[in-house]
Amino acid sequence: MIPFISQLPADEENIWIAALNQALPDENIIAVTELKPADKKHCLLAIVANPNTELLAEFENLTWLHSIWAGVENLMMSLADSPIDVVRLIDPTLSRAMSEAVLAWSLYLHRDMPRYAKQQHNKHWQQHQLVPASERRIGILGLGELGQVSARQLQQNGFKVMGWSRTAKKIPNIGTYSGNSGLAEMVAQSDILVCLLPLTPTTRGMVNKKLLAQLPQGSAVINFARGGIINTDELLNALNSKHLSHAVLDVFDHEPLSIDSGLWQHPDITILPHISAPTNLNSACDIVAKNIISFRATGQIPKSVSKVNGY
Ligand code: NAP
């Protein structure tokens, strides 16, 4: 028996449970609310989507969780001192969706769409010089599953692409940077800065006044990772002073973004409702099924998220 533990609406949870049972015909995946107390001690693993971690304490023999989301930062913060391993979704379909979003919104900024939208609003006819993609420098914070596929997508579309990661990397045709000095060097050359870092104690608030000041005048920021990585007040200052031209934000400290937030109305901010790379039901179920079948056969927990690094 495998409990499914989430905070999804009941109808969405039922769709997931049905699809997972179809992908794993030898298992019984069941909503945690329907599990009898006596059955809980037989559960070695659970399938989760941002679960209420207090519920996990009721499962005395739980050794690992399979998340159906790629981002597991809340779970890692709650389970930092727990022996339970967390396996997150690593899905090429999701990485492709993210790379498409990175390309789409990079093109939006590259082709000056926010400026032309303002001009249309003011019935103002003015042509601006076109910068070739080969001269547009895009820096990506994070060269993991999502960052690397996005970097390649941008590079294949003619942009000059750089990426920054914790450990040094070599990727053909991508300028790679690591460490504090590497960060400053890349940021200083980024006309568009794309954030694809995980939220950890180290990355929280990392995109702050100091880092934003290092960006070239008139540059833009895209955050598709987690709201907590950007210091929002300092981002607003950088936009209001016109040091930055625009920000595309898909993720926020509190979601949904409050209707009282001033970010909604800001003329130089594009707000997206956390849609850059949603989990795909079919591909996610196939991947979760493959991992669970392998665990049943070998007793080996699939590669889990590092408790030391928090991602
Ligand atoms: P990942 O594979 O774990 O990659 C993380 C990358 O960030 C790695 O390159 C890592 O460096 C780098 N990194 C981590 N901490 C760092 C630090 N302190 N300094 C420098 N680099 C650091 O993660 P992913 O799958 O690409 O996902 C990234 C994030 O995207 C997720 O955590 C989630 O928050 C977000 N996400 C958003 C959506 C959405 O719809 N908006 C969807 C899915 C995921 P190393 O390579 O050296 O380890």
Please state the pTM of the whole predicted model.
0.97
For residue 144 and ligand 1, the question of a CB distance below 6 A is answered with yes
Among candidate residues 88, 136, 137, 226, the one labeled active-site is: 226
How many distinct structural domains can be found in the chain? 2
Report the atom number in ligand 1 closest to the C-alpha of 163. Answer: 9
Residue nearest to atom 5 of ligand 1 (CA): 144
74's tokens: 């809340």
Ligand 1 pocket member 166 (CB < 6 A)? yes
Atom of ligand 1 nearest to the CA of 168: 47
Does some domain include residue 167? yes
Q: Indicate if 88 belongs to the active site.
A: no
The CATH number linked to 215 is 3.40.50.720
Looking at residue 207, its pLDDT comes to: 98
Asked if residue 233 and residue 142 are part of one domain, the reply reads: yes
Residues contacting 268, CB < 8 A, separation 6+: 114, 239, 244, 245, 246, 247
Task: Looking at the structure, tell me whether residues 124 and 148 fall in a common domain.
Answer: yes
Within a domain: residue 182? yes
Please list the pLDDT of the chain residue by residue as tens digits (311 residues): 999 999 999 999 999 999 999 999 999 999 999 999 999 999 999 999 999 999 999 999 999 999 999 999 999 999 999 999 999 999 999 999 999 999 999 999 999 999 999 999 999 999 999 999 999 999 999 999 999 999 999 999 999 999 999 999 999 999 999 999 999 999 999 999 999 999 999 999 999 999 999 999 999 999 999 999 999 999 999 999 999 999 999 999 999 999 999 999 999 999 999 999 999 999 999 999 999 999 999 999 999 999 999 99
Residue 186 and residue 76 share a domain? no
Do 216 and 199 belong to one domain? yes
Q: Is residue 47 part of a domain?
A: yes
Mutation test of ligand 1: which of 105, 166, 222 has the most ligand atoms closer than 8 Å to its C-beta?
A: 166
Please indicate, yes or no, whether residues 173 and 198 belong to a single structural domain of this protein. Answer: yes
Which residue, by CA, sits nearest to atom 8 of ligand 1?
144
Q: Is position 305 within any domain?
A: no
For residue 80, the 8-state DSSP code is: T
Q: Which residue has the tokens 């209001």?
A: 240
Q: What is the C-alpha separation between 256 and 251, in angstroms, rounded?
A: 9
Pocket test for ligand 1, best of 72, 93, 165, 271 (most atoms within 8 A of CB): 165
Q: Is 226 noted as a catalytic residue in this protein?
A: yes
Report which secondary-structure segment, H or E, holds 102: helix 92-110
Residue 252 lies in a domain: yes
For atom 1 of ligand 1, the residue with the nearest CA is 144
Tokens found for residue 41: 């001690």
Q: 146 CB less than 6 Å from ligand 1?
A: yes
Measured CA to CA, the distance from residue 227 to residue 95 in angstroms comes to 19
Q: State how far the Cα of 40 lies from the Cα of 61, in Å rounded to an integer.
A: 8
Tokens describing residue 262: 């001033």
Beta carbon of 101 within 6 Å of any ligand 1 atom: no
Q: Is the shortest distance between the CB of 71 and ligand 1 below 6 Å?
A: yes
Residue 67 lies in a domain: yes
On whether both 244 and 99 belong to a single domain, the answer is: yes
- With tokens 């999502």, the residue in question is 146
Burial annotation 167-201 (CB, 10 A radius, 16+ → b, else e): eeeebeebbbbbeeebbebbbebbbbbbbbbbbbe
Residue with tokens 């949904």: 256
- Claim to verify: residue 51 and residue 130 sit in the same structural domain: no
Give the atom of ligand 1 at the shortest distance from the alpha carbon of 72.
32
Q: Are residues 255 and 286 in the same domain?
A: no
Print the domain residue range for 9: 2-91+279-298
Question: Quick one: tokens of 156?
Answer: 């294949």
State in Å: Cα 166 to ligand 1 middle. 10
80 phi-psi bin (left φ>0, alpha ψ -120 to 50, beta other): alpha
Nearest-CA residue for ligand 1 atom 29 is 198
Same domain, 127 and 259: yes
Residue nearest to atom 2 of ligand 1 (CA): 144
87 and 102, same domain (yes or no)? no
What are 58-115's pLDDT values in tens digits? Answer: 999 999 999 999 999 999 999 999 999 999 999 999 999 999 999 999 999 999 999 9
Same domain assignment for residues 72 and 149: no
Residue 105 Cβ inside 6 Å of ligand 1? The answer reads: no
Residues 20 and 128 in one domain: no
Question: So what's the pLDDT on residue 303?
Answer: 97
